[in-house]
Structure 1
């Protein structure tokens, strides 16, 4: 990881989930200030992230947002922070972080449990510039 990468936020997601990939591309299109890098949880980098934090290596239902040397967030709180960072109208979603985590993570888990049913078959191909934001 380079020094400039330590200023980035890393988003870890299920790389084999069409629903998750849709949202990764949604974030890519709105990341105008180049805040995010992406890694699938199945990648070596993703597995290392999970292992270093004693997190379940096979549980791919959780979205993680990591700011190196500062913190990592998961599930609904990762979503809230991502929308806050993107800004604009989307930052209003982050207001939901004040609801009890039990409620927001329950809703997150319901979506995660049904994400394969919500997925589209079409998968958007990242541009060469966007591909630079993905870590293997």
Structure 2
């Protein structure tokens, strides 16, 4: 795994590499990531499989997964709306306003997230294989 910058915790965004919306969202995060410290990996990658092996409950999760590792090596995993809100907080600036979503109860946020997730392939398409990142950002992708 690549070493991260001094900014901790290290964050890895796992996403559905076959989902058109998910790929768009990763490009969006990369574009707006002023810190440049977040890494990415498709859920279908070797790295994604390793995370799922360490957290078996993720095998049934069809969602964005945010893995944060602190300086002392403690790994925390966030999914669905909580992962999305933590990413908004990470991006900072105007995106931090999206964290107002925390005022909604988690079950309601996740219900809304899941409702959108069920439609994402119809709305944004599905790829047959994971897209290969361009050379200028490839270093931020783990085992693609």
TM-score range (shorter-chain normalised) is 0.7 to 0.9
Q: Unaligned 5+ residue runs, structure 2?
A: none
Query: 1:60 offset after TM fit, Å?
Result: 6.0
C-alpha distance 56-70 of structure 1, shift in aligned 2 (>3 A): closer
In the other structure, the counterpart of 2:63 is: 62
Contact 1:61 1:113 in 2 (8 A): no
Contact 2:4 2:37 in 1 (8 A): no
Q: Secondary structure at the match of 2:39?
A: strand
C-alpha distance 132-39 of structure 1, shift in aligned 2 (>3 A): same
Query: 1:35 offset after TM fit, Å?
Result: 2.5
In the other structure, the counterpart of 2:41 is: 39
Question: How far, CA to CA, are the matches of 1:124 and 1:89 in structure 2?
Answer: 29
TM-score scaled to structure 1, two decimals?
0.87
TM-score scaled to structure 2, two decimals?
0.83
Instruction: Find out whether 1:103 has 2:108 as its counterpart.
Output: yes
Contact 2:41 2:142 in 1 (8 A): yes
Q: Unaligned 5+ residue runs, structure 1?
A: none
Instruction: Find out whether 1:130 has 2:137 as its counterpart.
Output: yes
CA displacement, residues 20-43 of structure 1 (integer Å, 9 cap, x when unaligned): 101010001001111210011100
Question: How far, CA to CA, are the matches of 1:121 and 1:17 in structure 2?
Answer: 5
Query: Which of 114, 122, 125 is the aligned partner of 1:117?
Result: 122
Instruction: Find out whether 1:16 has 2:15 as its counterpart.
Output: no
In the other structure, the counterpart of 1:83 is: 88
Q: Secondary structure at the match of 1:71?
A: strand
Q: Secondary structure at the match of 1:34?
A: coil
Instruction: Find out whether 1:74 has 2:75 as its counterpart.
Output: no
Aligned-CA RMSD value: 2.3
Contact 2:18 2:126 in 1 (8 A): no
Paired positions, count: 135
